[in-house]
């Protein structure tokens, strides 16, 4: 093979490699989505059955993936952890806060499910949902305070401010605003 032939082979090989790299770079998001789709059920199972360390790793990955399927599973795991963990451990920077951190990473798509929890009868669990919504919507007003009035001897929260905030935000979807309004009506008994 002559000098021209070698140069041609090198140029064709370089062009082929450039095309392969370009296709690989362009398809990286698609490859990542497919990989997430394959691993998501395994991570969800780790939240349900794994050790605390496995739950932490899985929660981080599910948040990174912005997995909507993870929202009810994470909430169920948080609720299950409530009796065995001090409540504050589940809030931001607590030792079990990785569930809430994952919901915050999923972000606004988790809002509808969190609104349902805010409207629930379980006040302690509702306070976790409110705190999560406050972290997702960083500009939300402080929506609750924890009091221990002697007559009640338990946690008292104000659920209305976060729901009013979500209901009144014009940039949010109609579905979120409607869900917040309906939850508010249920809480107020109207």
Q: Distances in Å between the alpha carbon of 20 and those of 15, 17, 27?
A: 9, 5, 10
Number of domains in the chain: 2
- Nearest CA among 109, 114, 113 for reference residue 134: 114
Which of the listed residues 64, 87, 102 is the one where a domain comes to its end?
102
Which of the listed residues 83, 102, 121 is the one where a domain comes to its end?
102
55-98 tens-digit pLDDT: 999 999 999 999 999 999 999 998 888 766 666 666 777 777 88
Same domain, 95 and 10: yes
Same domain, 142 and 168: yes
Average pLDDT for 171-182? 90
Percent of residues, the chain, with pLDDT higher than 90: 31
Same domain, 30 and 94: yes
Contact indicator for 139, 167 with CB cutoff of 8 Å: no
Domain that holds residue 6: 1-102
Q: Which residue is it, tokens 């370089």?
A: 14
Same domain, 125 and 167: yes
pLDDT of residue 41: 93
Same domain, 98 and 65: yes
Instruction: Compute the distance between CA of residue 88 and CA of residue 86 in angstroms, rounded to an integer.
Output: 6
pLDDT of residue 24: 63
* pLDDT beyond 60 at 132: yes
Mean pLDDT of the chain: 80
């Amino acid at each position: 093979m002559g000098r021209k032939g070698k140069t041609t082979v090198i140029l064709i090989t370089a062009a082929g490699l450039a095309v392969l790299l370009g296709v690989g770079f362009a398809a990286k998001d698609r490859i990542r989505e497919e990989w997430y789709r394959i691993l998501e059920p395994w991570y969800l199972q780790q939240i349900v059955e794994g050790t605390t360390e496995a739950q932490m790793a899985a929660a981080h990955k599910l948040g990174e993936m912005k997995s909507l399927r993870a929202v009810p599973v994470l909430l169920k795991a948080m609720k299950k952890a409530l009796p065995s963990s001090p409540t504050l451990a589940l809030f931001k920077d607590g030792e079990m806060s990785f569930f809430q951190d994952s919901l915050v990473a999923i972000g606004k798509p988790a809002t509808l499910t969190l609104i349902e929890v805010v409207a629930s009868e379980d006040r302690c669990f509702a306070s976790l949902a409110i705190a999560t919504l406050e972290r997702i919507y960083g500009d939300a007003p402080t929506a609750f305070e924890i009091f221990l009035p002697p007559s009640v001897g338990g946690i008292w929260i104000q659920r209305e401010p976060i729901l009013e905030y979500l209901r009144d935000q014009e940039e949010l979807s109609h579905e979120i605003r409607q869900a917040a309004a309906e939850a508010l009506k249920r809480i107020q008994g109207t």
